[in-house]
Amino acid sequence: MNNWILLILSLPSENTTVRMRVWRAVKAGGSAVLRDGVYLLPDLDSCREVFQRVSDEVKETGGSVFLMDARPPETQDLFSLFDRSQDYAQLLTEIEICHQSLANNNPPADLIKPIRKLRKTLNRLVEIDFFPSAQKTGTETALTELESIVGKLLVPDEPSAVTRTIPRLEAAQFRKRHWATRRRPWVDRLAGAWLIRRHIDPDARFIWLASVSDCPADAIGFDFDGARFTHVGDRVTFEVLLASFGLESPALCRLGRLVHCLDVGGIRPAETSGVEQVLAGLKASIADDNNLLDTACGVFDGLYAAFRKEEEADNHTTQSLD
C-alpha cells in the first residue's frame, strides 16, 4: 500500500476535554502519531471514516483541521508505525497466565470475565491491525483454544468437534420426527431446536436426555457426541444444521455467528451480551425444558426478524446506489 491519509489538526489549548476526546478517537482508530496534532492512517474506507469523524468534531469546537491524501516516497518505511506485534505479545502473555491459573487448579469460572476481556481486546486490535502478520493468527488460535478448554471444564458434556464432511440433506426427509438432545439446553441446543422447528421440521417433538445413552434409536440426536448433528470442525451444531439443510441465508448465518460465540467463544457480535443475559435468565427461571424452548423461540424469532429487516434495508440501499 502506497496511499495514506493525513490528519493535521489544532485545538484551542484551554479545551482539555475535547483534546482528550480527540486523542482517544485517533488512538482507538489505530492512527500513527507523526508529531503532536499530525496523524497518519492507510487509505482505507474505515480509516477515512475515523478521520472524518474527528475532523467534524474539531471543526465544531472551533479548531482547525486539514484532511488530505498523502503519497510519501517509496523509501520511507511507514508500515513499521503500525506494527502491532507488542500488543499481540501482551495478549499471549495474558492468555498464558490464564492457562497457568487452570494448571494451579483455580476454578475455571474465575476465568470467564478475564477471557471475555481478552476477546474484546483482541477484536479491537484486529480492527486496527491494517497489515496483519502471523502473530494475529497465532493469538486468535491461542485464545480460541483457551475458550474451548474453559468451556469444556464448565460444561463437561459439551460435544467434541469431529472432522468430517457435511452432506447436503433435504428437510422433507426429516419431517414429523423426534429430535433428542441433552436436557437443560443452552444456546446451541435452544437455537438448534428453534431452527429445526422453524425451518426443518415444523412438527418436531423434542426429547430432553438426562443421559445421551438413553437416546431412542428412532430419534434424531443433535448436539452431543455421537449424535447425527453435532460440532464439526470449527462449526457448532447450529451452524452444522444450517450447512446440512442449505439454510445459509445472511440473517441465519449472522444468528449462527452469535450462537457460535455464546457456545464456544470467538468474535462477539454487538448483541451478544444482551442475548446471553436474556437466555440465562430464562434458563434460571423456567424449569421445564419444553417451556424453556417455547419461550426462547420468541427470542430467536425476534433476532431473526431484526436481522432480516437489516438485510433488506442494506439490499435496498445497495440497489438505490446501483
65: CATH: 3.30.70.240
Torsion of CA 215, 221, 226, 232, to 10 degrees: -160
The model's pTM is: 0.69
Domain end position, chosen among 34, 60, 80: 80
Q: Per the structure, how many domains does the chain have?
A: 3
> Are residue 201 and residue 305 in the same domain, yes or no?
yes
Residue 181 lies in a domain: yes
Spatial neighbors of 129 by CB under 8 A, at least 6 apart, are 30, 82, 84, 136
Query: Which residue range is the domain that position 55 belongs to?
Result: 4-80
Residue 257 lies in a domain: yes
**Residue 286 cell numbers, joined:** 423456567
Residue 42, phi then psi, degrees to nearest 5: -65, 155
In whole angstroms, what is the distance from residue 304 CA to residue 253 CA?
Answer: 10
Spatial neighbors of 238 by CB under 8 A, at least 6 apart, are 188, 191, 192, 195, 255, 256, 259, 260, 263
Of the candidates 215, 79, 97, the residue with the CA atom closest to the CA atom of residue 157 = 215
pLDDT given at position 265 = 84
Residue 184 lies in a domain: yes
Per-residue pLDDT of the chain (322 residues; tens, 9 = 90+): 568 999 999 887 777 888 888 889 999 999 999 988 899 999 999 999 999 999 998 888 888 999 999 887 665 678 889 999 999 999 999 999 999 999 999 999 899 899 989 999 999 999 999 998 889 999 999 998 898 888 888 877 788 889 999 999 999 999 999 999 999 999 999 999 999 999 999 999 999 999 999 999 999 999 999 999 999 999 999 999 999 999 999 999 999 999 999 998 888 898 999 999 999 999 999 999 999 999 999 999 999 999 999 988 777 565 555 5
Beta strand 205-209 pairing with 178-182 = parallel
Residue 56 lies in a domain: yes
> Are residue 212 and residue 291 in the same domain, yes or no?
yes
> Are residue 283 and residue 192 in the same domain, yes or no?
yes
**Residue 297 cell numbers, joined:** 423461540
Domain end position, chosen among 29, 53, 80: 80
Of the candidates 87, 33, 82, 26, the residue with the CA atom closest to the CA atom of residue 54 = 26
> Are residue 145 and residue 265 in the same domain, yes or no?
no
Other CB atoms within 10 Å distance of the CB of residue 87: 18
Domain end position, chosen among 127, 154, 181: 154
pLDDT given at position 63 = 86
Do the Cβ atoms of 255 and 191 come closer than 8 Å? yes
> Are residue 88 and residue 76 in the same domain, yes or no?
no
Torsion of CA 149, 151, 152, 153, to 10 degrees: 90
User: Measuring CA to CA, how many Å separate 145 from each of 148, 161, 255?
Assistant: 5, 13, 22
> Are residue 248 and residue 265 in the same domain, yes or no?
yes
> Are residue 299 and residue 230 in the same domain, yes or no?
yes
In whole angstroms, what is the distance from residue 263 CA to residue 236 CA?
Answer: 8
> Are residue 149 and residue 183 in the same domain, yes or no?
no
Residue 55 lies in a domain: yes
Residue 21 lies in a domain: yes
pLDDT given at position 158 = 82
> Are residue 233 and residue 282 in the same domain, yes or no?
yes
pLDDT given at position 320 = 58
Residue 311 lies in a domain: yes
Residue 161 lies in a domain: no
> Are residue 283 and residue 298 in the same domain, yes or no?
yes
Do the Cβ atoms of 214 and 203 come closer than 8 Å? no
Other CB atoms within 10 Å distance of the CB of residue 133: 12
> Are residue 274 and residue 197 in the same domain, yes or no?
yes
User: What's the number of CA atoms in the CB half-sphere (13 Å) around residue 244?
Assistant: 24
> Are residue 232 and residue 246 in the same domain, yes or no?
yes
